Each structure stands twice: as C-alpha cells, then as structure tokens.
C-alpha cells in the first residue's frame, strides 16, 4: 500500500488514531488519547507564537527510509513551503518535527524517528514526554535547548 491509497481509502478516513506506513507498505496504527491531543495543541500554539514566519502542520506525513511517518506537529519555513507546497507525503522533512510520546511508544521507536526525520532534512526533532517536557535533537545529538527558538521548551 502507498500513502495515496491510505489517504483515499474510505475505511481509514475517520479512524481515531494516527496511521503510518512501514517501508513494506504495511499500516501501523497508534491510538491517541485526549492528553496527547492537548500536548499537540500546546505545541501548535507555542510554534505559532515563537516562529510566526512559517507554517505549523499537524499530522505531517513524511516519506522516510522506513516508510511514511507522521510527525504529530511540524514547523516549516516559508522557504520549505514554497519548495514543497502541500505535497503529501513530503519527500523532505520540515525544519522541526515533533513527536508526542504515547504509552505505546518505545524508546527505540522514538530514537528511530529522530534519525529518520533528521536524515530527511529536519533541522531539529522534538520529543515531548507526557509531562510536557521536550527533548530537542539535531544532527549533533541532544541539545540543551532549541537552536531555532533559543529556548528549552516545556508544553504544560
């Protein structure tokens, strides 16, 4: 299955959880709690206020080496948007990709997503824990704060 089949499939349109594809085209599903949605909306609000010269994207699909992954929230510069528009999925990752950790996520899964987004061109990947504490990563490794917002982010 490819991403166009997923987004056009009437049976998959109204599911209450995130869908991703692995590199073999198999569907991966992650249920999202209301707490997850609250953290997601806090990330959107934060990015809109701190980085107004760009676009915030919720459920941003990115084609990675391990299939299509969907960042919970992403921030894309105007330059990124001019180059990539609303292509679905993006072949390149926006500058910031944020994953909100769910109880079903493992550390290995989060580590892999960090690498996949960075390999596709993300400048930073943010991992938001259930308490709202955000860990920031770049190609150099974990950061003490975001280089793009110049802050250590806490979403709660």
Give the pair of three-digit tokens for residue 61.
């699909």
Q: Whole-model pTM above 0.85?
A: yes
Mean pLDDT, residues 55-78: 96
Residue 143: CB atoms within 10 A of its CB come to: 15
90: which DSSP letter?
B
Backbone angles phi, psi at 131, to 5 degrees: -90, 5
Distances (CA, A) of 73 to 9, 42, 60, 100: 23, 10, 6, 9
Give the separation between CA 113 and CA 43, rounded to whole angstroms: 18
Whether pLDDT at 31 is above 70: no
Residue 53: CB atoms within 10 A of its CB come to: 7
**pLDDT (tens digit per residue) in 95-111:** 999 999 988 889 999 99
Give the separation between CA 54 and CA 19, rounded to whole angstroms: 25
In this prediction, residue 150 has a pLDDT band, given cuts at 50, 70 and 90, of very high
């Amino acid at each position: 299955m490819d991403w166009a089949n997923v987004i056009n499939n009437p049976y998959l349109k109204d599911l209450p959880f995130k869908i991703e594809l692995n590199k073999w085209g198999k569907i991966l599903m992650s249920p999202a709690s209301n707490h997850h949605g609250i953290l997601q909306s806090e990330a959107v609000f934060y990015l809109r206020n701190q980085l107004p010269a760009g676009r915030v994207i919720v459920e941003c699909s990115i084609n990675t080496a391990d299939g299509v992954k969907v960042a919970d929230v992403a921030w894309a510069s105007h330059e990124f948007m001019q180059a990539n528009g609303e292509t679905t999925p993006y072949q390149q990752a926006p500058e910031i990709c944020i994953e909100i950790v769910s109880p079903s996520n493992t550390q290995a899964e989060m580590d892999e997503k960090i690498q996949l987004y960075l390999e596709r061109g993300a400048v930073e990947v943010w991992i938001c824990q259930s308490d709202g504490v955000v860990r920031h990563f770049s190609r150099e490794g974990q950061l003490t704060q975001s280089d793009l917002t110049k802050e250590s982010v806490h979403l709660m």
